[in-house]
Structure 1
């Protein structure tokens, strides 16, 4: 029995886990009582059904039921559940650019989340990759993204499938030894001197999913070039020197050039109102790195255009 993850991948979905907190209010109570309070949006009857299904287990892989007592420090494993009717269907396909002994490089479409979260479980890049027939020679349970790419953004993303080398690739991003180039469509400004360097202090916004600019020592930096004047809208090249959340979107907005079709900046649009005919005009066009395993220069470029 796998003590770390006793449940298998099911339909490409890796089980979630939760470590039960050391909280005295739950001592002597049932696990069901805790789960109903911890996940208030899941009805008690739904938790009873899941607990009695045999698909929720403890760290020894033993099934848990609705009468199991709460035990602080225990780790429980379960599958997230979202009905297919409630999960938006993303009708765009990913394209695999490269697979080697360590990495999977993917050209991700717009609208597709990388990992399961919120409304998305099956319609994610990670779940799709685990189900692909051309990747079944790998241990698909080990596929993990090694950097971020928003669901609204298309383009190149690197994923690790080799736990032995994963950390050294992650370190490349942490130490900024990766060259990333994005393309974007935004309002034309010919009064700026390109290349333009934007530096600012970015922090979490008033809403947890947003980023905002505040006064203080800059912690973000982006180089912007005008590639092609297309009239009112132009094609820009964006080179993030740092990697803050939504950095490119916020920096472009700060110049009065919000990205075309942005659902968050400058005005947040309601969840579920995405128009698949109007994707965010931001593309992770190219990633360049010196491979820490082979020592060779590797360049991966998206086949998509804006």
Structure 2
């Protein structure tokens, strides 16, 4: 995994004081910081060790490694759908984070792939929510990273998701949902607000409910934008929330707590089913599909 990067916000104060207040290091106490200083593990952008009394410079990045938290093992494989010298495409399982964040570090797709392929150069070209399964693309070389990341940033990737959700007899489908979504870092949930539209999704019914699916239907979801939790929120707005969603339409702490205690029996039934794009290097059309089912 990569070192934690902390960007200093102040100038001319002791480094130890600035790092003690850094939100990214809230789980590291002063003794832990001093131990890292003593071990010469806190460095500047050139890799030179820093003294705790060194004066800060606003905007300068500082790097250090954090202690790994204790993690519950995610008991699902990470199948590789495709690998070449430029990219790796995987079929991510539910509950596995794309990359290290919070208490999820080792049990992430990024760390698993770096270990499997023996390379610290692997990097995600985009992200999937921890609870969402499906097709996820990584780059293998820094030289090509921007080309593939820009595909997603510029919305040049055709995406198709599948979801399992209830049926509303009065809902006419297909339906196009368009509104404005905001997501604050301090809030677990995204929300719909007034203002210019920034989120568009299309919802189509693939197959109706049956006894075999527990009364749930299968839907095809096509996001035309990429806001955080967009599909989950749009399905809830239509009155057909995705099965297993702990946040929408209302927060369900009991459901959210299951996976954190090692119970993986209630996944969010949402899968990134297909990624399709013109390769930025070869120009060849690429199509990758998940093998995972939501019903």
TM-score, normalised with respect to structure 1: 0.85
Q: Whole-Å Cα distance in 2 between the matches of residues 91 and 35 of structure 1?
A: 36
Shift of 1:205: 5.4
- The equivalent residue for 1:153 is 132
- The equivalent residue for 1:266 is 249
- The equivalent residue for 1:252 is 235
Matched, 1:34 2:13: no
- The equivalent residue for 1:128 is 112
Task: Note the alpha carbon deviations across 1:128-156, whole angstroms, 9 max, x for none.
Answer: 11111xx23xxx22211111210000000
Q: Whole-Å Cα distance in 2 between the matches of residues 272 and 52 of structure 1?
A: 38
Matched, 1:93 2:88: no
Match of 1:297 among 269, 285, 289: 285
C-alpha contact (below 8 Å) 1:181/1:238 kept by paired residues: yes
C-alpha contact (below 8 Å) 1:34/1:70 kept by paired residues: no
- The equivalent residue for 2:196 is 217
- The equivalent residue for 1:179 is 158
C-alpha contact (below 8 Å) 1:156/1:285 kept by paired residues: yes
CA RMSD of aligned residues (A): 2.0
Q: Whole-Å Cα distance in 1 between the matches of residues 185 and 87 of structure 2?
A: 36
Matched, 1:75 2:61: yes
TM-score, normalised with respect to structure 2: 0.88
C-alpha contact (below 8 Å) 2:69/2:103 kept by paired residues: no
Q: Whole-Å Cα distance in 2 between the matches of residues 105 and 206 of structure 1?
A: 28
Matched, 1:106 2:94: no
Secondary structure of residue in 2 paired with 1:57: coil
- The equivalent residue for 1:20 is 8
Give ranges in structure 1 of 5+ residues lacking alignment.
1-12
C-alpha contact (below 8 Å) 2:74/2:96 kept by paired residues: yes
